[in-house]
Amino acid sequence: MAATRPTVHGLHHVTSIAAAPQENLDFYVGVMGLRLVKRSVNQDAPGTYHLFYADEAGTPGTDLTFFPWPDMAPVREGFGQAREVQFGVAPGSAGWWRERLESRGFEAGTPAPRFGESTLPLRDPHGHRIALVETEDERPWIPWEGAPVPAERQLRGMHAVCMVVRELAPTRRVLEDVLGFEEVGEEDGWRRFGVEGGGSGRWLEIREEPDARLGRWGTGGVHHVAWQVEDDREQMALRERLVDAGLQVTPPIDRFWFRSVYFKEPGGVLFELATMGPGFERDETRDALGESLILPPWLEPRRAAIESALPPLEVPASVGASEPPAARAP
């Protein structure tokens, strides 16, 4: 029997760029009801935080993370970028979420169907594009008991990522021939690709914009998109296939909670293949996730210097504990 060709298994996490870290924390915990599951630093630039927001346990696929760089210019949208991150919510939740956001000074768009799913677009305090998508799809997700949002309304992990490229064909070849995606539909210029049959957490939506300018990283934009692989063996098999396809791929990098390889897909978006483990409970109990600054072992000798360079952070304790600045209109 022929061996099964390795593929990715859906979204692992998305990492974006924020401005002020406290505003970022107030919004994603205090307003959106995600849990801060890891408070760490950018391992390549440890003078800035790396904040991880997810479900109760930091389940892969529920995790939106941020590098707060307050002095960076805002994102310049264009091709070669992931433009929007979508989260799944329960059917009938979009109106509840719109009312919650507006009651806290945030603007949200009008729910409208996308690929047959009611979708509410909004932006966070630093301009990051988000959408909440009503879906009945089952997926790995653990409600956070301490959230300021009722369990039935909580964000249930990332539903899809939307990205823009100047030319679709080279990106499509890598998605289909290497990573295991299949195109499943088109709507308003967006093409939807799914892996393992699609479903919430396994979608990627792409728009081809031949006349777009090159995008630039900045606050309010996505830094990279990470896809799930089971383990080191599967990661290396996919890495070999990417190299054979002519892409420049990093060696495996130990991120302590998972292991990663990075590459730019042909359209210019930075992708990561991240292993499912060891996971966020490797160095903290589930009850204590996100409560203190956690460093990987190789940065521990620098803890005093790192801590002195970071601003203090206070996690919102309950509904209304903080009122972040108003979001931009979607």
Q: What is the CATH number of the domain that holds 292?
A: 3.10.180.10
More confident residue, 5 or 201: 201
Q: Specify if 320 maps to a domain.
A: no
Rounded CA separation 56/59 (Å): 8
**Range(s) of the domain holding residue 32:** 11-309
Residue 324 lies in a domain: no
pLDDT at position 317 is 74
Give dist(CA 30, CA 8) in Å, integer: 32
Question: 243 pLDDT band (50/70/90 cuts)?
Answer: very high
Cβ neighbours of residue 188 closer than 8 Å, sequence gap 6 or more: none
Task: Sheet containing 181-187: give its strands across.
Answer: 112-114, 117-123, 129-134, 81-89, 158-165, 203-208, 190-195, 181-187
Nearest to 125 by CA among 330, 274, 324: 324
Domain for residue 147, yes or no? yes
Query: Has residue 156 been placed in a domain?
Result: yes
Whole-number pLDDT of residue 329: 43
In a domain, 315, yes or no: no
- Beta partners for residue 40, in sequence order: 50
Beta strands per DSSP E along the chain: 11-18, 35-41, 49-54, 63-68, 81-89, 112-114, 117-123, 129-134, 158-165, 181-187, 190-195, 203-208, 222-229, 253-254, 259-264, 270-275
Cα separation, 148 vs 164, whole angstroms: 34
Q: Is 4 inside a domain boundary? A: no
Domains in the chain: how many in total? 1
Within-domain flag for 76: yes
Look at residue 280 and tell me if it is in a domain. yes
- Across the range 202-230, mean pLDDT stands at 98
Per-residue pLDDT of 286-329, as tens digits, reads 999 999 999 999 999 999 999 999 999 999 975 333 344 444 44
Reply yes or no on whether the pLDDT at 3 is more than 80.
no
DSSP secondary structure code for residue 149 in this structure? S
